[in-house]
Structure 1
Amino acid sequence: MMKEIRINAFDMNCVGHIQQGLWTHPRDQSTRYTQLDYWTDYARRLEAGLFDGIFLADVLGVYDVLGGSPDPAVRHAVQVPVNDPTLLIPAMATVTRHLGFGVTANLTYEQPFTFARRMSTLDHLTGGRIGWNIVTGYLDSAARAAGFAGQMAHDDRYDMADEYMALVRALWEGSWEDGAVVADRRTGTYADPAKVHVVHHKGKQYTVDAMHLCEPSSQRTPVLYQAGASARGTRFAATHAECVFLNGQAQPAVKQQVDSLRSEAEAQGRSRDAIRVFLGATIVTGRTDAEARDKFEDYKRHASSDGALVHAAASLGIDFSKYDIDEPIVTASQAIVSNVEAMTRAAGPQWTRRKLLDQFVLGSRQKPWIGSGATIAQMLVDWSEQCGVDGYNLSRTVVPECVDDFIAHVVPELQSRGAYKTRYSEGTLREKLFGRPG
């Protein structure tokens, strides 16, 4: 029996997310991101297409690595301006019943006690459909905005995150017992104080003595997402994450990452299938391969290599303006280490700005998959079977037509192969993803 492939939309509460420049396409509507009906319409489309969820990325700083200035990011709308993603979720939940919501929140700048309450609130309001993408940040501009001189070292951020996770889990799981809420109108007792406990935590980074302010939500702990693919990030993901996102590369590299992640999960006392792995993908599709290629050529005319370079400089932590076009680039960085490693695999150990620009096919480092619905469906199935990935995060190109095209052309082909649901199952996001509550 073929494994069911999971599909998330991958987006951000901004104009330019991954594929830089495509907001200039005449059919693109992403400049409407400040309008609530843009997001509620988006959610309805995704649920009609039986998407598992929408994953909302976020960033707290501005991309100012290239040339040491934020001006190029502002000029090209490279993830700035960007609004808070959490405020979109209740509205999208109101117009859907099944769509899951993964939201990015940077724990480095979130006080754990108040953050735990926010996630519980979202889990209540969505009926148990919330997930949290755990990030520790990688931008010095975000650290400065929060009052710090700069970001912590890469591995130190993960050490802090381990403690953070222990604390918020204690609040979600250990403060209110099952059955604490009785809502007894006759006695006037809403909750039994004997079943509500103060969490005592004293660690290197945090000291908390408090009960969780929220009664238990459907999931208690949100579904935990993580995107770290460095050695330290893999260990963190194998310890904490239920869903892990990987960037698309060559199949052998992806398979190696998936195998390493599952082996590390076993080393942490978890089963190999305790984690769902999602691969990032950009898809351009149509009724035929030729139609898809024509659409890609149309999109490509609007892609921005300048915007892509701004984004790459920040996520790789390297100011490319300091290098001539063919000068070897020094890759030591405290930004997203796995991005540096992936680029080295793609462009070779001595990569240059020219080699980097060659990767920017559609305004990002992520090369698009182009083809008819049948072609794309078979690619998704092949990658799933050969690399062991469970699903895909589809970054937008021209919205909303990229979503409509996938639903019209790819979904039926996946369904005909027995690789995609024909209806939603009931339950929380965790139950839908794993077939079990926890």
Structure 2
Amino acid sequence: MKNSVIKNPEFKNIFISASIIFIGINFIYILSMYFTWTGLNRKIIMKNLCYIGKAVSKNPELESDIMESILNDADDRYIELGKSIASKYGYKPNIKLNIAPIIYDYYKMNIAYNIIFFIAIIAALYIILYKNFKVLYDKLSYLCISTEKIVDGNFKVKLFKEKEGELSKLNFEFNRMSKCLQLTLEELREEKKLLKNMISDISHQLKTPLTSLKMFNELLLDGADEQTDVRREFLGKSLVQIDRMEWLIHTLLKMARLETGVIELNKEESDLCEAIKEEIMSLNMKIKMKNIQVITNGLDKPLYLKFDKKWMGEAIRNVINNAVVYTPNYGTITISAEKKEGIIRIIIEDTGIGISKEDLPHIFSRFYQGKNSKTMSQNGSGVGLSLTKLIIEKHNGVIEVNSFLGEGSTFKFILPME
């Protein structure tokens, strides 16, 4: 506590200023005392000279005795005699100061100097304290004004910089608090904007399947259910739309939970190659239905990495599923994994329809559907790749894509080995 007080700039300014002024006033006081006592000494000497001149003029033979008495210490033999003689004229050792004009004048002068000295010290200390506390008051006033501005939403205000001391810490913490509040407010605005966009997107995506379900239901109510084949067709189409809505809602909920930080990834060290093979197996039925050949490279050796098995599996499955959907029958999908220079790469390459140059920059945007995706699959929603990108970024990784229309696509997951 003591060291922090000493380091405080305001305390240092007061201490240094007071010390300088106190030393200066003391120097002036000592100088004035020197001239005062020098003057007193001169007055006494002049008085003695007067006494010597008068005594010697009347008794020349006593010149040496008189000078010896004045220049040397008092001789006790003559002190008593002197007292008896001087007492006849009222001059005694305990005489009052006002009876001895020379001493009394300099006594009054000394008192005046002391009064001036103490007044000067008090005035100097008052000026020092006023000046330094005014600076402190101005800083605190600015702090209050800055706080009011931040409350009003103005985060551009920054406090003055201090080299050291408690105000320096206060300024640093205030600026840090301002930045944290600004970031928090911006995050809240982004979350509000995200929620607004998500609600708009969900309502837009659910509108089509709901309209279809409503139409199928109306047709059945109007008598279409009398024909078994027609009823079965309508119910089949309704099931497809219901499945689509169910998948869409689940996927959007997953994205919302990840984006808003409701859930934390449970990262554990696991074999990434094993996770990839599990996702391939989960899509095995779709792959066989289209007679697609799946080639794997580097999955025979384990690659250990800290990742959330559930969410990473979701990301890998989304990309492989897209490759299956957009690859024609008897096509090829190549899935590779490799470790190099502290990173792991997962490469998923297909011989599908590819992505156009115009669509490529937007494929990770939520609900974006390129022209070719619409022609190849009526069940696409444009959220799968957006969710995949979010999951990879939550693992501190990046996702890259290379594709040319009609030549297939290559997706790369680049994950750091923590």
Structure number with higher relative contact order (C-alpha < 8 Å, ≥ 6 residues apart): 1
Larger radius of gyration: 2
Q: Which has a greater percent of helix?
A: 2
The bucket for the TM-score relative to the shorter chain is: under 0.3
- TM-score of the superposition, structure 2-length normalised? 0.20
